[in-house]
Amino acid sequence: MTKVLFIRAEWDADAEVWVATSDDVPGLATEADTLEALSAKLEILVPELLDANGYPDGPEVPFELLARKFSVAHRATR
């Protein structure tokens, strides 16, 4: 079974983008405006980075994208 690569995405509120990094994919650091755009970008970048780092070939490169965004909710004044 092919190893599922773990990729983290965190919201950068200052830059207003999602930033992806991974310990499983050497050199991965990319960003996008939406999670959907980030995922599409990763489908291209991840295989390219693995090829560049000499990882074994395979027809598929499964990855798990875990997104995290910190927010603050405000209660209505009473």
State the DSSP string of 19-47: EEE-SSSTT-EEEESSHHHHHHHHHHHHH
Where in the sequence is the domain holding 53, given as residue range(s)?
A: 5-68
Q: Domain tally for the chain? A: 1
Residue 53 DSSP label:
T
The sign one gets for the Cα dihedral 44, 50, 53, 55 is negative
Look up residue 27 and give its two tokens.
Answer: 């050199």
Summarised one tens digit per residue, pLDDT across range 17-34 is: 999 999 999 999 999 999
**Cut 0.75: pTM above it:** yes
DSSP bridge pairs for 11: 18
Summarised one tens digit per residue, pLDDT across range 27-77 is: 999 999 999 999 999 999 999 999 998 887 778 899 999 999 999 999 998
Within a domain: 77: no
CATH number for the domain that contains residue 30? 3.30.2390.10
